[in-house]
Amino acid sequence: MIELANKKDHEVGDFKQTYASITMTGVAKFKKELAIEYEKYKSNGPGTSDVTLDEGLELLQTSKDLCVQFTSQKNDNLLSETLFDLEISTYPDLNDMIAKNATYDLIYDIYKDHRETVKEFSVGTFVKVETSNLMMSADKFVTMVKRLEKKLTNP
């Protein structure tokens, strides 16, 4: 019985070695793909200086969708690496993208809210605009920006 168990263990060992090699190749390919996307993110992402707010809003959503896909792949890689007793890979670029997207979310949420408020005021006639509503709206955005400033300086 022990001899049969050792034989099966050896057979599974070859199988495990093959799939461990495939996993390592897949992880390396994923890391390269992630590095390329991270460089694109840094040079043309939602936080770059040459991007308008509207463009940045679209880029942020695209980046968040991409991060969801990358996180799923990262989790699959983690399971495979654990299964085959491989060294667990880290993904600092992905973590940085996710963290920056969270910060950009705060900024772009204020922009989206402001844009909607301006649109609401724009469709009304000048005669119907109440200055108290304009003042309350302006105060609301000043407060939101001050809170954001505190969050960004004291994370």
Identify the residue with better confidence: 12 or 21: 21
pLDDT for 90 equals 96
Q: Which residue reads 């890979």 in tokens?
A: 89
How many angstroms separate the CA atoms of 59 and 102, rounded? 13
- pLDDT band of 63, cuts 50, 70, 90: very high
Do the Cβ atoms of 104 and 47 come closer than 8 Å?
A: yes
Percentage of the chain surpassing pLDDT 70?
89
Q: Does pLDDT of 91 surpass 70?
A: yes
How many CB atoms are located within 10 Å of the residue 40 CB?
A: 12
3-state secondary structure the chain: CHHHHHHHHHHHHHHHHHHHHHHHHHHHHHHHHHHHHHHHHHHHCCCCCCCCHHHHHHHHHHHHHHHHHHHHHHHHHHHHHHHCCCCCCCCHHHHHHHHHHHHHHHHHHHHHHHHHHHHHHHHCCHHHCCHHHHHHHHHHHHHHHHHHHHHHHCC
Identify the residue with better confidence: 134 or 47: 47
Whole-model pTM over 0.75? yes
Please give the single-letter amino acid code of residue 144.
Answer: M
pLDDT for 42 equals 96
- pLDDT band of 120, cuts 50, 70, 90: confident
- pLDDT band of 76, cuts 50, 70, 90: very high
- pLDDT band of 41, cuts 50, 70, 90: very high
Residue boundaries of the structural domains of the chain: 2-153
How many angstroms separate the CA atoms of 108 and 113, rounded? 8
Q: Does pLDDT of 6 surpass 70?
A: no
pLDDT for 11 equals 67
104-129 average pLDDT score: 83
Mean pLDDT check: name the lowest of 17-31, 39-53, 116-130: 116-130
Q: Does pLDDT of 154 surpass 80?
A: no
